Chain A
């Protein structure tokens, strides 16, 4: 064990590139596993909600279903439509997955457990989540198909609308925490009130708006007009098959996990324990730790699946109205309220 630690420190001083690569693998490999089992959880949960059983054939209780799906997609033929723009057609899925993975670089999993402790971490996350839309737009255009193109256009308009609400919600977090560093934002939520000291309570409207905008940004139900199987078949990825389709799929689920984890981090106290620190400090599993972050991420991730099983798809004009006329005014008003709370050191900010 000690020699391993010594080797790790030696890597840090002499071969820092290799050390960073190992860290990236340690983050991305479990993330991919989470993505695989998130799809399984989705199918099972929606199955139960609709009084079905869901996948139960591959492995005990269907546990190996995601593996079987991955293997199937890997060996399927990649069909490229005639007259499609081949390069862009193949780059598009990567542009969806890439930002979804790169955003994890600044994500603090626990005290000090972060790959890159960036000063402007929140901005970095916002920038990366905003460029995820390129995958969808380019896929829709490069496919040379009406349905794909319609899906791309819908997605572009929707994401630009909700990005503004999302950005304003993050401005509220920034004002409350006084820092763009994600670790600092979590530390700012630490108090003797435990769960009631986290930002979800003083920033309740921003919390809800951030999460709903996150659902819209990931093109998930009830905001999945970019796919809209009943009217435009499957939207932007209608022409995709095999591995490029699988990469789109991975990107969508990685984005969902990212939004869930960010909501947990920014509004639900990240790795902090919900019990007051003075009660549980040092108590096994009750104190602060990475397991709380996992639990909170699962909690917020569950909502994505629940929404999909519950809500019908929004009408397009309703999506635009909600984004521009409801969310943006509410966020602007609440930023002002948060500013006043911080200036007058109200309850959470004293």
Chain B
């Protein structure tokens, strides 16, 4: 077994283990942390495939930002497992059906019909000066310029929509207006009263 193969199997084993733990742990915080571990191991596998930009961005975006917010929410929730389990048996047939459909779909896409050692040639190792970031960028900003820009605009619309949803006036909240705070002069707050000295 070559060293690369060994590293791949180590990362793949951790990935499968972590992914299983995500869906089997009772505590949602543990599940979220195992998902972080799963992201790390898949980033390791991407590094092995010489896609260092994607690997680092996966950690930067998903581990560094998305999962932090995820944990933020999950930690604040008071999840009652009993009510979650209440409908387990009732929803079982529908859930099973969906699971089977998804499994079949997955099998059709990534099953032995499309993937396998005989279907895909072994990737050739890139030269030492190969720069994944540069090659990705040059393709993204030339060949795939329009899809890239359209995706960016869709994301921007999503951001604005999400912010718009939270923009509601709540009269009971106390809000400090910094511009008003900054503009305050001494005369607004302080009144010097001249008084005759009492004797």
Contacts and interface: CB of A to CB of B under 8 A. Distances in A.
Q: Do these two chains interact?
A: yes
Contact of B63 (A118, A131, A152, A180): A131
Given A120-B53, A120-B133, A138-B33, A160 B69 contact: yes
Interface residues of B, number: 23
Which DSSP category, helix, strand, loop or mixed, fits chain A's interface?
helix
B56 A124 contact: yes
Contacts of A124: 56
B56 A130 contact: no
B133 A127 contact: no
A157 B29 CA distance: 17
Most chain A CB inside 10 Å of its own CB: which residue of B56, B59, B65, B176: B56
A318 interface: yes
A134 B36 contact: yes
Nearest to B36: A134
B57 A318 contact: no
Contacts of B36: 134
Nearest to A322: B178
Contacts of B68: 133-134, 137, 156, 159-160
Given A137-B68, A318-B178, A321-B178, A123 B53 contact: yes
A200 interface: no
A153 B178 CA distance: 24
B107 to A, nearest CB: 34
A231 interface: no
Nearest to B59: A127
A130 B69 contact: no
Task: For chain A, give the interface size range.
Answer: 20 to 34
A245 to B, nearest CB: 22
Interface string B174-191: 001010000000000000
Nearest to B129: A119
Nearest to B67: A134
A152 B72 CA distance: 9
Given A123-B57, A124-B56, A130-B65, A141 B75 contact: yes
A336 interface: no
Contacts of B59: 127, 130-131
Contact of B75 (A119, A131, A137, A321): A137
Contacts of B21: none
B95 interface: no
B147 interface: no
Nearest to B56: A123
Contacts of B52: 118-120
A163 interface: yes
Nearest to A315: B176
Contacts of A149: 75
Interface string A142-186: 000000010011001101100100000000000000001000000
B8 to A, nearest CB: 19
A119 B50 CA distance: 12
A156 B32 CA distance: 15
Contact of A153 (B29, B63, B76): B76
Interface in B64-113: 64-65, 68-69, 71-72, 75-76
Contacts of B176: 317
A130 B29 CA distance: 19
Nearest to B130: A119
B17 to A, nearest CB: 16
B154 interface: no
A133 B72 CA distance: 11
Nearest to B76: A153
A156 B75 CA distance: 11
A38 B147 CA distance: 50
A280 interface: no
Contacts of B64: 126-127, 130-131, 133, 163
13 contacts: A88-B33, A120-B52, A123-B60, A124-B56, A127-B59, A130-B59, A131-B63, A133-B64, A134-B36, A134-B68, A141-B71, A153-B76, A160-B69
Interface of B: 29, 33, 36, 52-53, 56-57, 59-60, 63-65, 68-69, 71-72, 75-76, 131-133, 176, 178
